[in-house]
Amino acid sequence: MEISTLATYHCLAFVWYFFVAYSITHVKTEERPSEVFLYGGQWKYLTVLNLVLQAVFYGVSFLADVLRLIKKLRCAKRVISSRDLLFSVLAFPVSTFVCISFWTLYTYNRELVYPKSLDGVIPLWLNHAMHTAVLPFALLEILALPHRYPAKKKGLILLGFVAFLYISWVLWIYSVTGEWVYPLFALFSPPGLAAFFAGSLAVIISFYNFGEFLNRMIWGQSKFCS
Average pLDDT per consecutive 10 residues, the chain (226 residues; last block may be shorter): 90 97 76 55 91 97 93 87 96 97 95 88 93 96 94 95 96 91 92 96 97 93 50
- 177 occurs within a structural domain: yes
- 133 occurs within a structural domain: yes
- 84 occurs within a structural domain: yes
What pLDDT, on a 0 to 100 scale, did the predictor assign at position 115? 87
Q: Which candidate, 55, 47, 58, places its Cα nearest to that of 18?
A: 55
Round to whole Å and give the CA distance between 215 and 60: 19
SS3 79: helix
- 161 occurs within a structural domain: yes
- 136 occurs within a structural domain: yes
User: How many independent structural domains does the chain possess?
Assistant: 1
- 182 occurs within a structural domain: yes
Amino acid of residue 224: F
Q: Which candidate, 57, 45, 41, places its Cα nearest to that of 102?
A: 45
Amino acid of residue 112: L
Round to whole Å and give the CA distance between 148 and 226: 10
* pTM across the whole model: 0.91
- 17 occurs within a structural domain: yes
- C-alpha pair distances (Å), 52 with each of 42, 45, 72, 166: 11, 11, 27, 14
What pLDDT, on a 0 to 100 scale, did the predictor assign at position 62? 96
- C-alpha pair distances (Å), 62 with each of 17, 68, 132, 207: 13, 10, 23, 24
- 226 occurs within a structural domain: no
Give the residue numbers spanning the domain of 127.
3-26+39-219
